[in-house]
Chain A
Amino acid sequence: MSLLVDIEKSFRGFSLQMAFEAQDETLALLGASGCGKSMTLCCIAGIEKPDRGRIVLNGNVLFDAKDHINLTPQQRKVGLMFQNYALFPRMTVFENIRCGVQRNLPRPQQLRAVEQCLAAYGLTELAGRLPSQLSGGQQQRVALARIMISEPQLLMLDEPFSALDSHLRFRMEQETADTIRRYGKTVLLVTHDRDEVYRMADRVAIVENGHVLQLDSRSRVFSSPSTRAACALTGCKNISSLKVLDATHALALDWGIPLTLPLQKGTDGVGIRMHSIRWGEGENTLRCHVAQVTENPFSYTVMLRAADAPQGAAPIGWEVDKPFWESVRSQEVTVHLPSETLMQLKG
């Protein structure tokens, strides 16, 4: 079973050109807000109409501009969970979920299906409440239950946890992951949160300005993002442009330091994660001044500037364990950047 998307759409001076395929897996669309992720979901659901291209789900053509095929959202049988959950405000939890049930079933069967669904999602006691009387987590659970009872051929979640407090978010993420596992079909997850992506997705599509920049397995996207945008979206804070000198030497221009690494063709940027920087001497040793120290709950972020870097060079962020930094606490430190942790970037 699979989803094929290849669409183009212009809107508000912005051009969307999305092309990707997904199997029975969770594919995350990771991108900054306004990059066209949500619009893509709306096009797949049939709420928005692309200008060109086609959308095929499990062999059924949902949309084809050339053949003038454009199924209604009702005919597409795809589930879309909106960022604000879009629960019907004047219907109870029971009535909301009943909206997802097949209308052609006999009434007693419909009601039984709703009862079972309420029980499965732990909502039985909330059946008579209105959405406004529920917590954010409960609202999300109702929205998911309402979609799952409609037996969609494709499940799409638009920023599913962004409206939740962080403590609720963790729990709802696990509940949702459970539902997805039992569902077993294609899931599209739209988000700008890299942690969510890492915990929930099998593959990741990096989206910027309405284009898929990179589509790869989760581990590859995080270990070797191909572009600066992808690198930043996976949470890397240290990114610099690179001036290549020869096959193994380059200058990190933003940081004002030389680097030694086995350079790939076309590389013009470099990134290193804050926790990849190592203490003491080694590959790419740097003697640094400490420019600033920020205390986090379980670590310190130490901003380093190379001692021999020119004026105005950008500092490099280093994340250090609390006990370790508390034992060091120095204005001058020596660290090194292992070449295998340096991510080579293009564009």
Chain B
Amino acid sequence: MDLYPLWNSLRIAGISTAIIFFAGIAFAYYIAKAPRAVKGVLDVILTLPLVLPPTVVGYLLLRILGPRRPVGLFFLEHFGLRLTMNWWSAIFATSVVIFPLMYRTCRGAFESFDENLAAAGKTLGLSNTFIFWRIRMPGCRPGILAGTVLAFARALGEYGATSMISGYTPGRTATISTTVYQLWRINDDALAFRWVLVNIAISFVVLLSVNLIEKRERRR
């Protein structure tokens, strides 16, 4: 059994989770503080990828990044770089799809933070940077951790947008989910089943760790 799809899935999920970790926190922090009207509009736009079918996300991404589309053409002409059909192209797809998960859970955490703590820090003369990193972030840690793990799990299972933007090339762009589909299509039921088991095992571990984190945080 060639383990390339496992390795490829893990690195795509890992890199996109790392990007979305910072992007999600930043958006959540500023939108939680934004005025109501701005909040309502931005919230809808940023949550949209959560409810759109992944194939729609994939289609929209191809319209922007495809080799004959504005951004894709720009990179092809200036850097000789094709943005689609590489293993890392899938990072665009998974990042867009998992962004709302991270953003939403973080925003919830920021909104339920006791603002008196920040105010108390200010009157004690603590800098805003100290308050953000040493008081606000630790206070919101359970929400941020849960968001990160959920985002990672979702990235690992992403199929629709990934298959559209990266395609399926064994040993190059294959991920676990695209591999399962291909194996099933060519009737290699035994191998497909093994990949299914791998996938279930990973998801099991991820969800178990979410529960453990929550339990530990609640005890503090």
Name A94-115 residues within 8 Å CB distance of B. Answer: 99-100, 102-103
Inter-chain contacts of A80 with B (CB < 8 A): 119-120, 123
B116 touches A84 (CB 8 A): yes
B121 at the interface (CB under 8 A from A): yes
Chain B: minimal CB distance from A101 (Å)? 9
Selected from B117, B119, B135, B220, the residue in CB contact (under 8 A) with A42 is B119
Q: Which residues of chain A are within 8 angstroms of B63 by Cβ–Cβ distance?
A: none
Q: Which of A7-15, A69-77, A187-195, A332-340 contacts B (4 or more CB under 8 A)?
A: A69-77
Nearest CB in chain B: distance from A128 CB, A: 15
CB of B212 closer than 8 Å to a CB of A = no
Interchain CA distance A99-B120 in the complex, whole Å: 10
Pick from A42, A74, A84, A147: contact of B126, CB under 8 Å: A74
Kindly list chain B residues whose C-beta atoms are within 8 Å of the C-beta of A99. 121, 124, 126
- Asked if A65 is an interface residue, CB under 8 A from chain B, the answer is no
Binds B, one of A85-93, A178-186, A252-260: A85-93
Main secondary structure of the interface of A (DSSP, over half): loop
| Interface size range on A against B | 20 to 34
Tell yes or no: B69 within 8 A of A by CB. Answer: no
User: Are A74 and B220 in contact, CB atoms less than 8 angstroms apart?
Assistant: no
Enumerate chain B residues within 8 angstroms of A84, measured Cβ to Cβ: 114, 116
With an 8 A cutoff between CB atoms, is B139 at the interface?
yes
Option from A78, A132, A147, A152 in Cβ contact (under 8 Å) with B220 = A132
Question: How many whole Å from A155's CB to the nearest CB in chain B?
Answer: 11
Closest A residue, CB atoms, query B135: A88
* B70-128, CB < 8 A from A: 114, 116-117, 119-127
CB distance from A123 to the nearest CB of B (A): 17
CB distance A130 to B220 under 8 Å?
yes
A47 in the interface (beta carbon within 8 A): yes
- Asked if A73 and B119 make an inter-chain contact with CB atoms under 8 angstroms apart, the answer reads yes
Residue of B nearest to A45 (CB): B123
A86 touches B120 (CB 8 A): yes
Q: Which residues of B contact A86 (CB under 8 A)?
A: 114, 116-117, 119-120
A41-75 CB contacts (< 8 Å) to partner B: 42, 45-47, 72-74
Within 8 A of A (CB), among B125-158: 125-127, 134-135, 138-139
What's the nearest-Cβ distance from chain A to residue B138, in Å?
4
B116 touching A82 by the CB < 8 A rule? yes
Residue of B nearest to A100 (CB): B124
In angstroms, Cα B135 to Cα A84, docked, is 16
Is residue A315 within 8 Å, beta carbon to beta carbon, of the partner chain? no
Neighbouring A residues of B116 by C-beta, 8 Å? 82, 84, 86
Instruction: Tell me the nearest residue of chain B to A149, going by C-beta.
Output: B124
Distance between A163 CB and nearest chain B CB, rounded to angstroms: 13
Please name all residues of chain B whose beta carbon is closer than 8 Å to the beta carbon of A132 when the two chains form the complex: 220
Contact A90 B120 (CB under 8 A): no
A146 within 8 A of B: yes
A79 to B121, CA, bound (A): 10
Are B119 and A147 neighbours in the complex by a CB distance under 8 Å? no
Given A74-B127, A90-B220: A45 touches B121 (CB 8 Å cut-off): no
Chain A residues near B114 (CB-CB < 8 A) = 84, 86
Mask for A307-318, Cβ within 8 A of B = 1, else 0?
A: 000000000000
Report yes or no: A76 in contact with B121, Cβ–Cβ below 8 A: no
Which A residues lie within 8 Å of B119 (CB)? 42, 45, 47, 73, 80, 82, 86
Q: How far is the CA of A73 from the CA of B139 in the complex (A)?
A: 21
CB of A138 within 8 Å of the partner chain: no
Contact sample, A vs B, 13 pairs, CB 8 Å cutoff:
A45-B122, A46-B123, A47-B123, A74-B126, A76-B123, A82-B119, A84-B114, A88-B134, A91-B134, A99-B121, A99-B124, A130-B220, A146-B124
- Pairs of residues from A and B, 8 with the lowest C-beta to C-beta distance, nearest first: A73-B122, A86-B120, A86-B116, A90-B138, A47-B119, A80-B123, A73-B123, A82-B116
